[in-house]
Homo-oligomer: A and B are copies of this chain.
Amino acid sequence: MANSIRDVASRAQVAVGTVSNFLNRPDRVAEATRKKIESAIAELNFVPNASARHLRSGSSRTIGLLVPDITNPFFTEVARGAGDTASENDYTLLLCNSDEDPKKEERHLKVLIEQRICGLLITPSFEGLAGVAELNRRNIPTTFIDRKAESLEQSSVSMDDFYGGKSAVKYLASLGHTSIAWVNGPLSIAQCASREDGVMDSAKEQNVKINKFQVNQMRSQNGYEVAKNILESSSQVTAIFCANDLVALGVLRALLENGKKIPTDYALIGYDDIGFSASASIPLTSIAQPAYKLGALAAQMIINEVENGKKFKHEQIVFKPELVIRASTQALRK
């Protein structure tokens, strides 16, 4: 049932080496033999064994993708982009989800090394750098996604979070808002920290007041809970900017439950522009990040690096996020 290249060779009456050539450098085999081999393969239903291939050739054509939370639509899109690109280039994508658990991350990294992946795509968490060092020691090319590499020896595809934070506040200011609630995640997450820097920078420029709120995890439920604090806070906030859409959706629900009107009572902005934001009960204004493109480009870059070896030039690509205006924001009525 499991046919080998040898079976094909003997059926087509050629040497195994020729079959291998047919598979890998078809131009080197003559038309006639090509035909013979083709039909032998078809008759035997032969499919090459990737493991044997990899073992002998030394290159695995498998790239690993390690994400912290596959449940977050942002990463789902990243994975889709990376998967499609890998597939188009005849690479296999091995998707691992660490659920933000360092133990799981460790285990996945081990598996990826066992599989001898030729490259790794990873969104490093704060603690996740130990495992990456291990990969480095083994000379496995690694590309960061959504986090800028600090070394020039390392590629990354990330977003300009400072710019994103800044442009949201700038936009709100242009609508006339002067007191804004800023709901951020843990500052230990690089993205959160940068967005906050952008927020504060713009606040100074535009002369608006920022009320900071914190959330431990960036999920909907956390937004729902923190909304109470915003409502109870004495300040007369007129706009709310959340560090991601999940949190914003949670805030939105809490506000509506409390009889608030969006965007009249509060303007609301999220971040990521996940699919659900456009179809929320009140479509959410958001800072869009091209997640699919991030994944696709990162995959393309790691493939280039794998294939071009030493002469590959590492790049740190930074995209600018884009403000997408929807129904959850409008000019402040005096």
Task: List the interface of chain A (C-beta within 8 A of B).
Answer: 1-2, 45, 47-52, 54-55, 60, 70-71, 73, 76-77, 79-80, 83, 87, 92, 94-97, 99, 104, 107-108, 110-111, 113-116, 137-139, 220-221, 224, 249-250, 252-253, 256, 275-276, 278-283
Q: Which of B50, B108, B139 contacts A1 (CB 8 A)?
A: B139
Instruction: Determine if B276 and A249 form an interchain contact, defined as CB atoms under 8 angstroms apart.
Output: yes
With contact pairs A52-B55, A70-B76 given, residues A279 and B221 touching in the complex (Cβ less than 8 Å): yes
Instruction: Determine if B224 and A116 form an interchain contact, defined as CB atoms under 8 angstroms apart.
Output: no
In the complex, what residues of B have CB within 8 A of residue A95's CB? Answer: 95
8 closest residue pairs by CB, A with B: A281-B281, A220-B279, A51-B51, A50-B114, A51-B54, A51-B55, A95-B95, A47-B113
Instruction: Determine if A49 and B281 form an interchain contact, defined as CB atoms under 8 angstroms apart.
Output: no
The 12 listed contacts between A and B (C-beta, < 8 Å) are A2-B116, A45-B137, A48-B114, A49-B114, A50-B115, A50-B116, A51-B52, A51-B115, A51-B116, A55-B55, A80-B99, A92-B111
With contact pairs A253-B281, A279-B250 given, residues A116 and B49 touching in the complex (Cβ less than 8 Å): yes
Q: Is the interface of A mostly helix, strand, loop or mixed?
A: helix
Chain B residue, CB-CB nearest to A134: B45
A143 to chain B, nearest CB (A): 19
In the complex, what residues of B have CB within 8 A of residue A50's CB? Answer: 51, 114-116
A172 to chain B, nearest CB (A): 21
In the complex, what residues of B have CB within 8 A of residue A281's CB? Answer: 252-253, 256, 280-282
A256 to chain B, nearest CB (A): 5
Instruction: Determine if A70 and B60 form an interchain contact, defined as CB atoms under 8 angstroms apart.
Output: no
Q: A71 to B110: give the CA distance in the assembly, Å.
A: 27
Instruction: Determine if A71 and B275 form an interchain contact, defined as CB atoms under 8 angstroms apart.
Output: yes
Q: A253 to B253: give the CA distance in the assembly, Å.
A: 13
In the complex, what residues of B have CB within 8 A of residue A224's CB? Answer: 279
- A253-B279, A253-B281 known, 5 other contacts, Cβ within 8 Å: A55-B55, A71-B76, A80-B97, A80-B99, A92-B115
With contact pairs A253-B281, A281-B282 given, residues A97 and B113 touching in the complex (Cβ less than 8 Å): no
In the complex, what residues of B have CB within 8 A of residue A71's CB? Answer: 73, 76-77, 80, 275
